[in-house]
Amino acid sequence: MNSDAVTKGVKSATHRALFNALGFTQEELERPLVGIVSSQNDIVPGHMNLDKIVEAVKTGVSMAGGTPIVFPAIAVCDGLAMGHQGMKYSLVTRDLIADSTEAMAMAHAFDALVMVPNCDKNVPGLLMAAARLNIPCIFVSGGPMLAGTVDGCKVSFSSISEAVGAYNAGKIDDDKLLEFENKTCPTCGSCSGMYTANSMNCLTEVLGMGLPGNGTIPAVYSQRIRLAKHAGMQIMELIRKNIRPRDIMTESAFRNALTMDMALGCSTNSMLHLPAIAHEAGIELNVDIANAISDKTPNLCHLAPAGPHHMEDLNEAGGVYAVMKEISKLGLLDLDNITCTGKTVGENIANSINKNPEVIRPVENPYSTTGGIAVLRGNLAPDSCVVKRSAVAPEMLRHSGPARVFDCEEDALAAINGGKIVPGDVVVIRYEGPKGGPGMREMLNPTSAIVGRGLGSTVALITDGRFSGATRGAAIGHVSPEAAVGGPIALVEEGDTISIDIMANTIQLEISDEEMAKRKAAWKPRQPKITTGYLARYAALVTSGNRGAILEAK
């Protein structure tokens, strides 16, 4: 179906009457109708500038012969939702965004869509919608925030989170905490490290759904406005050539994305989102392949929270394409995939240059010879769990210690801030998974408290919930099966020994099979925490973290 259904022929006289009421001219209705999905709102720092991006897209569409029509998508700020019940509503919006975009696009017979997201769930939610609808689509995000500066050093959102932990430990005073508070987030845009929003915007470039610079050009640069105009123009080219999302987001494109995920050191949330997007494209992306890809993909970037660099540094160093060019030297990318530029991956990156080998390490001198993310398995996580290996202290790549067990984030945070967690401990936070939460909350506050108290190199944390991209340390999430469905994490008892070997991709609860079976037989499901509203419906339909927390009708 295309816009002819609402603009052409006698049958569409009623539709045209309504377009007349909107002020559209006959000339505009003779052009392709291009929906512009705007995630703009006044509560998300990464989205407050999207009105300017949308206006630029509209200009580009009009310049290239299309009729731009804007409609909205919701957006939750993960930072503002963090640490309270609001975080239960973060991941779940990914499906609301996809579903509502599908509804608007189908109901109004758009010929194509320009997606204008920026932060954590909007990028994957709109990529899911693009794959589902399979009409020409292109992405242009709002861009990353500039880093702040404290004591002559660049800082980002993870810095203020860890500063709270340092303050609670008595390591900094009120004035220093206030300085971090005032200087950490100095501009609009998605927070300035390689957190989830920037990870997904960079991977949108890799997948081929965004123009070069989409992931890295800072929000406050006028270059971002020019990029938006070019995206508006390019969607008309995609219409003319009939290049659709499923032509671009192929199985090999997702393999490219996983490869670049490892090279860039992206957020562990990418391991939730990529399988969900692939699922909408009719591709089953099993996280099991991640380790095989990681084993041969060097980690070339250490952006915050893993290292001192930020998105503005990656942009100046040549951006995502420069990292792709480095990785292509090893023959690890499929260069023949078509992209939204109308060219192949190989053509796109042919002239890219690594302008700063400190920010983008050459493949001959990587941070590590293996990728930034690892998938672990063992009797504690038979279906897998995930860790951002590039952000783990070397001494914590192998760790064994006593379990300190908590059935919610709040109890764990109280214990950490109360000084009850000591070096060597393994903090277990359970019943926070997709069903058990419900909503699979991020655990940035507990991990930041651990790091802020100086325990980042001695304490591990595992959860069936997930982590912010701002998390660093031995933070292992997405434990599957989750506690709410009787996964082994529900059977851990206080003081049990847990052994973690990130280099060997293993995680083990050190009890006998007989003891595990005994505990399993005694386990009883808990009553749902929430029984009404959207979260109750979500909990009834959501699958486990290792499947991308996709929704599936039972």
Q: Which of 159, 328, 468, 480 is catalytic?
A: 468
Per the CB < 8 A criterion, the answer to whether 344 and 473 are in contact is no
Q: Measuring CA to CA, how many Å separate 312 from each of 68, 219, 223, 243?
A: 31, 10, 13, 31
Q: What's 375's DSSP letter?
A: E
CA–CA distance, 84 with 265 (Å, rounded to integer): 28
Which of left, alpha, beta for 362 (phi over 0: left; psi -120 to 50: alpha)? beta
* 3-class secondary-structure state, position 142: coil
Tokens of residue 534, six digits: 């959207």
Q: What's 39's DSSP letter?
A: -
Residue with tokens 């109004």: 108
Q: What does residue 406 show for φ and ψ, rounded to 5 degrees?
A: -135, 140
CA–CA distance, 552 with 435 (Å, rounded to integer): 13
Mark whether 468 is an active-site residue: yes
**Cβ of 329: how many Cβ atoms within 10 Å?**
11
Does an H or E element contain 497, and which? strand 497-501
Strand 148-150 and strand 426-429: the pairing is unpaired
CA–CA distance, 121 with 54 (Å, rounded to integer): 19
Handedness of CA 326, 330, 335, 337 (dihedral sign): negative
Q: What does residue 158 show for φ and ψ, rounded to 5 degrees?
A: -65, -25
Q: What's 114's DSSP letter?
A: E
Contacts of 222 (CB under 8 A, 6+ apart): none
Single-letter code of the amino acid located at 348: N
CA–CA distance, 188 with 143 (Å, rounded to integer): 9
Point out the residues that are catalytic.
468
